[in-house]
Each structure stands twice: as structure tokens, then as C-alpha cells.
């Protein structure tokens, strides 16, 4: 594979090659069954991905969405700490390595040394196979280690830890152990589904990270309590994902894309410049004005109306997306 391909394109090509020869019906059935397992309410005590066919189908279905969600979180980290770059990275519960692909492409020209930890040997084996076909030196050099997440000894010291779509699978005790282990890193990125219960797990993780001495770099503009009243709303964001033919077959849709909803927290042990305000809902563009729902450093949640009379700020507001920092850097 051409190493000059952007990471997202490289991942799509690797997944397309993975599904080559796998009957579409078999792949779709595997994905349906696995989705049902993941949507269950009881944390698992055994790997959900049991064999290569499970792993191949689910990787093709879920890796692009996980990749885009984690990449959005890493963008927020880079905005808050533009001069920081990790030398080492540990992907806890990384499965087939979607978050590691995102990390590999996050810092241009610099790929951290990555270790992927997971308890599913088939997932690790397939992740290694995909990484070796990536053409990305950092991914190809990654280590893939079997570990019982939340139970095995804490991972080796590292600069960056990612924990993506893992906490739901764990008992409360194991969730706490994973977050506490992650908190030893210089920077931590935790991602969960953009659902009310996913947001609850992110808030719990956020509180543990702050108690461990880290500061929030994103999405929050502060380390104070979240201003959203629990049970009435939840904080989440969205990433655009290109749909494969498998996505369209499983979901019965025809669109070329879908939006992955996710909740997240990024916390660090070094100083950062968090957004002064964060756009927490999709901006509403109306004639001559843009309505922005914001989480702010000093005023909690608020709505800002930006009109044509604001000049360059109005033009910036029209280009602002859900999840972006506000105001734009040049207007700050």
C-alpha cells in the first residue's frame, strides 16, 4: 500500500481488502449479531469478538466510525496543545486498532510508538494484519498485547493513552481501574457513544481524571462540574463517516455517509489552552444570523446570536461546526 495515502484512505483500502471474498450476507449477519451484543445492558466478562469472521465483519463496520470519532478528539487535543507531540501511545482495549490508526495520522511526520492492549486474540491478530498492510511505519511497528482490560497490571508508562468505546463493556469496578491506569499518562483521550449513558460514563471518567491531578483540555473550557443537568440532556458531538457497501447493506440505507455521535474527554498533565467556548450543538444558520449553543468558561451554557453586523465574526460563524472552539483563533 502506498505510504503517502492519507491515513483515512489507507484504512478504507485495508478494510476493503479485508472483506474481499467474504460473502456479504455472512458479514451482515455477523454485524447484526455483534451489534445486539454490544447494545446489551450487562457488561461482559469475555471477549465479544470471538473469531476471525466476527472480527473482520465488525472491523469493516465499526473501525471507520471509531477512527473518525477519535480523530476529532485528537484534533481538539492538538488545538489545545499545538506544540505537544507524544513519543509513545497505548491503546487500551484497542481491538483491531482504529484509535491507533487515528493517532498514526494525527501528528504530521511523527508517529508515536504504539502498544495496543486487548483481551481478544482474534482482534489483535487482525489488527496486526491490517497495520502491516497500512504502509505507515508507526503502525507497522506497533505491538499487540493480550491483556484483560481492567484486571491485568497497569500498562507501561506512556505519553498518550486512548480508551475508545471500551468502558460500556466493563463492570463499574473495572471501568474505574482502566481510568485510573490511563491517568498515569501525560495525555488521556476517552471516547464513548454519544448517548445519555455514554455521556454518564464520560462524566465519571472526567471526574476521576481531575481527581488524579489532570486538567481537561477538551471539549470543556474548564475543570468545573458540567453545567448540563444530568437526566435532562447530554453532551455529545458528531463526526462524518463515509459508508461502505457493508454499512449500507446492514442499515438498509443508500446515503454515502453517516454521522457518528460520540461523547469524549481529553485530559492532560501539562498546560494546555482549552477553548474559551465550545459549540455544543449544530449551529442554526438563518437569514442574516447564526445561532450558536455554547459551553463557556465563565457563564456555563449560553446561546450566542451572530449577525451580519459582526462582519468577519459572522462569516466565521457560518463556517463553524458542531464541536468547534469559539471564537475562532484569529478572532479570540
Tens digits of residue pLDDT in 6-55: 688 888 888 878 776 666 666 666 666 666 655 555 555 544 555 677 77
Mean pLDDT computed over 114-125: 92
Q: Residue 331: what pLDDT?
A: 53
Which residues sit opposite 89 in a β-bridge? 114, 160
pLDDT of 2 > 50? The answer is no
Q: Over the stretch 131-146, which tens digit does the pLDDT of each residue have?
A: 998 888 889 999 999 9
Q: What angle do CA 114, 118, 124 make, to 5 degrees?
A: 75
From the DSSP assignment, how many helices (H) and strands (E) are in the chain? Answer: 10, 13
Q: Is 21 left (phi over 0), alpha (psi -120 to 50) or beta?
A: left
Q: Give me the helix-helix angle, 172-182 and 196-211, nearest 10°.
A: 50
Distances in whole angstroms, Cα of residue 271 to Cα of each of 73, 108, 186, 209? 17, 22, 10, 15
To the nearest whole number, what is the mean pLDDT of the chain?
Answer: 87
326 near 279, Cβ under 8 Å? yes
Written as nine digits, the cell of 281 is 450543538
**Lowest pLDDT segment from 130-139, 156-165, 280-289:** 130-139
Backbone angles phi, psi at 26, to 5 degrees: -65, -45
Q: Residue 3: what pLDDT?
A: 34
Top pLDDT among 232 and 153 is at 232
DSSP assignment string, 90-153? EEET-TTTHHHHHHHTTSTT---EEEEEES-HHHHHHHHHHHHTS--HHHHT-EEEE--TTTSP
Q: Over the stretch 237-270, which tens digit does the pLDDT of each residue have?
A: 999 887 666 555 555 555 566 889 999 999 999 9
Mean pLDDT computed over 144-169: 90
Amino acid at each position: 500500500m502506498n505510504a503517502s495515502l492519507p491515513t483515512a484512505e489507507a484504512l478504507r483500502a485495508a478494510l476493503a481488502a479485508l472483506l474481499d471474498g467474504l460473502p456479504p450476507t455472512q458479514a451482515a449477519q455477523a454485524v447484526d449479531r455483534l451489534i445486539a451484543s454490544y447494545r446489551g445492558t450487562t457488561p461482559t466478562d469475555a471477549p465479544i469478538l470471538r473469531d476471525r469472521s466476527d472480527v473482520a465483519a465488525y472491523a469493516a463496520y465499526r473501525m471507520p466510525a471509531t477512527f473518525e470519532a477519535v480523530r476529532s478528539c485528537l484534533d481538539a487535543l492538538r488545538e489545545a496543545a499545538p506544540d505537544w507531540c507524544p513519543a509513545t501511545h497505548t491503546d487500551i482495549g484497542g481491538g483491531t486498532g482504529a484509535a491507533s490508526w487515528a493517532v498514526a495520522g494525527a501528528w504530521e511526520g511523527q508517529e508515536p510508538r504504539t502498544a495496543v492492549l486487548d483481551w481478544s486474540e482474534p482482534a489483535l491478530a487482525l489488527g496486526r494484519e491490517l497495520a502491516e498492510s497500512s504502509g505507515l511505519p508507526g503502525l507497522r511497528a506497533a505491538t499487540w498485547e493480550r491483556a484483560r482490560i481492567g484486571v491485568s497490571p497497569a500498562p507501561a508508562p506512556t505519553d498518550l493513552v486512548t480508551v475508545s468505546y471500551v468502558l460500556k463493556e466493563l463492570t463499574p469496578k473495572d471501568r474505574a481501574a482502566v481510568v485510573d491506569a490511563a491517568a498515569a499518562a501525560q495525555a488521556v483521550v476517552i471516547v464513548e457513544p454519544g448517548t445519555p449513558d455514554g455521556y454518564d460514563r464520560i462524566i465519571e471518567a472526567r471526574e476521576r481524571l481531575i481527581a488524579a491531578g489532570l486538567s481537561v483540555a477538551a471539549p470543556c473550557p474548564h475543570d468545573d462540574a458540567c453545567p448540563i443537568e444530568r437526566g435532562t440532556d447530554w453532551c455529545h458531538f458528531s463526526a462524518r463517516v463515509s459508508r461502505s457497501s457493508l454499512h449500507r447493506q446492514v442499515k438498509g440505507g443508500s446515503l454515502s455517509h453517516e454521522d457518528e455521535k460520540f461523547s469524549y474527554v481529553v485530559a492532560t498533565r501539562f498546560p494546555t489552552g482549552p477553548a474559551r467556548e465550545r459549540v455544543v450543538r449544530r449551529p442554526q444558520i438563518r437569514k442574516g444570523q447564526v445561532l450558536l449553543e455554547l459551553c463557556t468558561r465563565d457563564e456555563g451554557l449560553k446561546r450566542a446570536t451572530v449577525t451580519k453586523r459582526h462582519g468577519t465574526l459572522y462569516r466565521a460563524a457560518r463556517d463553524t461546526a458542531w464541536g468547534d472552539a469559539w471564537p475562532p483563533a484569529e478572532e479570540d
